[in-house]
């Protein structure tokens, strides 16, 4: 029995300090041995958003104990680790620098290879944790900072089919939560409120629903929520607005995903009809249920990471590390932290006012 690679993953791109050990079984399926995530929600709550300086300080305070916990929990020894994989971008530079420097130092002092990982690639590969998934596949990445449809051809090979031209979906959830007076980060709480509301109560806009291919836009929706939130008189209306917002998102994703399917099918064969949904918003059960149903209608296999791997974590970083290790794709120790690092480097930057579709 040959020794399977054992990878230490480290994540600190935003407000989660995380470390994980991942290996694979005899069938080549990745196995998560430990997955430690320390969230900073309490640090940022009173400011209504992530404060970079405070986030970086918190990473510095916790990183060594989190990595130690991950190693202890895995039952493995430092000597047994084959490579260290750290997130190098995209994200907040002061935060990225903590996990990146820690990973490089760990690699240097233990004389092991270092692997710089793109955080978005971590989300893209997260469904591979504990299950088998072959390339290619269509990916919908919906997180706090990104909303994209990508054709995933292999590790490092992505074609962006569509992206948001303004807010990310998680951002739209968080901003709506703020308007409904839910504490930061309120995105997941919208789902809870929505269960008690009438989704038909408020009619909200679906920006660029009939144009722009599978590009997305949520800014106009947020403005509409802002206007209505000023007229809200009681809790029931708050629940109704949360439900109406969530239903509008479902309708947007339903329509845009069909467009993305058509785009994907132009360059991929019918037997490759696999649809992966990843990122923090993929934890939303209503959105999951709607996309699963759509996949059944369109003969796609729907694949979601387990809920614990939807939000930011280091297991997904170790997962990318594992694939890169097998391909001997190692990084130099002067690899920079990259605040902006698109998966499809050739795709045009679409974000910003005045975008024409
Ligand atoms: O992937 P993630 O943990 O971090 C980034 O890389 O951005 O995503 C965080 C985002 C936040 O905006 C959060 O509000 C949203 O995911 N989110 C949800 C849910 N759980 C997390 N949005 C909607 N429904 C949820 N259940
Ligand atoms: Zn993320």
Provide CATH 3.30.420.40 ranges for the chain.
7-127+309-326, 133-304
Residue range 37-47: average pLDDT?
87
Query: In angstroms, what is the span from residue 188 Cα to ligand 1's centroid?
Result: 7
Q: Mean of the pLDDT values across residues 194-209?
A: 97
Stretch 207-222: mean pLDDT: 95
Q: What is the mean pLDDT of residues 280-307?
A: 96
Instruction: Please determine, for residue 352, whether its predicted confidence score (pLDDT) is greater than 80.
Output: no
Lowest average pLDDT, out of 17-21, 154-158, 212-216, 348-352, goes to: 348-352
Structure tokens at 62: 């916790």
pLDDT of 41 reads 84
* Closest C-alpha to ligand 1, atom 25: 188
Give the pLDDT of residue 356: 53
Residues near 59 by beta carbon (within 8 Å), at least 6 away in sequence: 12, 17, 95, 98, 99
d(CA 284, CA 246): 10
pLDDT value at 349 more than 90: no
Ligand 1 closest atom vs CA 145:
7
pLDDT value of position 49: 82
Adjacent-strand bridge partners of 16: 39
Token duo for residue 325: 């290790």
**CA 91 to ligand 2 center in whole angstroms:** 9
CA of 325 to the centre of ligand 1 (A): 29
Q: Is the pLDDT of residue 208 over 60?
A: yes
Are 344 and 153 contacting, i.e. CB atoms less than 8 angstroms apart? no
* pLDDT the model gives residue 103: 98
Please name the residue that has the structure tokens 């692997």. 115
Distance 47 CA to ligand 1 centre (A): 18
Task: Output the pLDDT for position 355.
Answer: 55
Average pLDDT over residues 280-296: 96
pLDDT score at 243: 98
The residues lining ligand 1, judged by C-beta closer than 6 Å to any ligand atom, are 143-145, 170, 173-174, 185, 187-188, 191, 279-281, 283-284, 311-312
The preferred substitution site among 55, 99, 144, 171 for testing ligand 1, maximizing ligand atoms within 8 Å of CB, is 144
The predicted structure's pLDDT at residue 357: 54
The token pair at 64 is 């060594």
Q: What percent of the chain stands above pLDDT 70? A: 98
pTM for this model (two decimals): 0.94
Counting from 1 in the atom list of ligand 1, the atom nearest the Cα of 123 is 1
CB distance 279 to 123 below 8 Å:
yes
Residue 232 reports pLDDT greater than 70: yes
Question: Using CA atoms in the order 69, 12, 165, 46, what is the torsion angle rounded to 10 degrees?
Answer: 90
What is the CA(145)–ligand 2 centre distance, in A? 7
Please state, in angstroms and rounded to a whole number, the distance separating the CA atoms of residues 288 and 291. 5
- Candidate of 281, 310, 314 to mutate for ligand 1, largest count of ligand atoms within 8 Å of Cβ: 281
Helices 169-179 + 219-229 axis angle, to 10: 10
Token pair of 351, please? 């974000």
CB atoms closer than 10 angstroms to residue 109: 9
Residues with CB under 5 A from ligand 2 (ion): 143, 312
Q: Provide the 8-state DSSP code for 153.
A: E
pLDDT at 183: 87
Ligand 2: centre distance to CA 321 (Å): 16
Query: Domain spanning 133-304: which CATH class is it, in words?
Result: alpha beta
Sheet holding 114-118, edge to edge: 30-39, 16-24, 7-11, 83-89, 114-118
Q: Which two tokens stand for residue 296?
A: 């059944």
Helix, strand, or coil here: 152? Answer: strand
317-322 average pLDDT score: 98
DSSP annotation of 342 reads -
What's residue 47's pLDDT?
A: 84
Distance 311 CA to ligand 1 centre (A): 6
Burial 32-41 (b: 16+ CB within 10 A, else e): bbbbbbbebe
Residue with tokens 């993305």: 260
- For 7-127+309-326, CATH gives 3.30.420.40
Nearest ligand, CA 280: 1
Task: Compute the mean pLDDT over every residue in the chain, rounded to the nearest whole number.
Answer: 94
pLDDT of residue 22: 98
For residue 166, pLDDT beyond 80: yes
pLDDT, position 2: 79
pLDDT of 268 over the 90 cut: yes
Name which residue leads in pLDDT, 355 or 92.
92
Q: Which ligand is nearest to the CA of 37?
A: 1
């Amino acid at each position: 029995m040959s020794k399977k690679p054992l990878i230490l993953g480290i994540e600190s791109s935003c407000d989660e300090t995380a470390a994980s050990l991942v290996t694979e079984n005899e069938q080549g399926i990745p196995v998560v041995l430990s997955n430690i995530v320390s969230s900073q929600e309490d640090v940022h709550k009173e400011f209504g958003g992530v404060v970079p300086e405070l986030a970086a300080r918190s990473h510095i305070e916790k990183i060594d104990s989190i990595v130690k916990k991950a190693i202890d929990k895995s039952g493995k020894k430092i000597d047994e680790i084959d490579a260290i994989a750290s997130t190098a971008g995209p994200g907040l530079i002061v935060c990225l620098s903590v996990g990146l420097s820690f990973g490089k130092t760990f690699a240097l002092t233990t004389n092991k290879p270092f692997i710089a990982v793109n955080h978005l690639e971590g989300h893209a590969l997260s469904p591979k944790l504990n299950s088998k998934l072959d390339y290619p596949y269509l990916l919908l990445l919906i997180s706090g900072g990104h909303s994209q449809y990508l054709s995933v051809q292999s590790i490092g090979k992505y074609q962006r089919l569509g992206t948001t031209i303004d807010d990310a979906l998680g951002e739209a959830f968080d901003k709506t939560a703020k308007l409904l007076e839910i504490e930061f980060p309120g995105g997941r709480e919208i789902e809870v409120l929505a269960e008690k509301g009438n989704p038909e109560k408020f009619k909200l806009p679906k920006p660029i629903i009939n144009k722009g291919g599978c590009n997305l836009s949520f800014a106009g929706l947020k403005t509409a929520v802002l206007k209505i939130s000023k007229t809200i008189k009681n809790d029931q209306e708050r629940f109704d607005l949360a439900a109406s917002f969530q239903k509008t998102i479902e309708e947007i994703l339903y329509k845009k995903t069909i467009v993305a399917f058509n785009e994907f099918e132009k360059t991929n064969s019918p037997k490759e009809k696999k649809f992966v949904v990843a990122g923090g918003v993929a934890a939303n059960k209503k959105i999951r249920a709607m996309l699963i149903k759509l996949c059944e209608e369109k003969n796609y296999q729907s694949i979601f990471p387990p809920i614990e791997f939807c939000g930011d974590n280091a297991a997904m970083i170790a997962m990318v590390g594992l694939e890169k290790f097998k391909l001997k794709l190692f990084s130099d120790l002067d690899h920079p932290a990259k605040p902006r690092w698109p998966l499809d480097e050739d795709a045009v930057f679409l974000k910003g006012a005045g975008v024409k579709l």
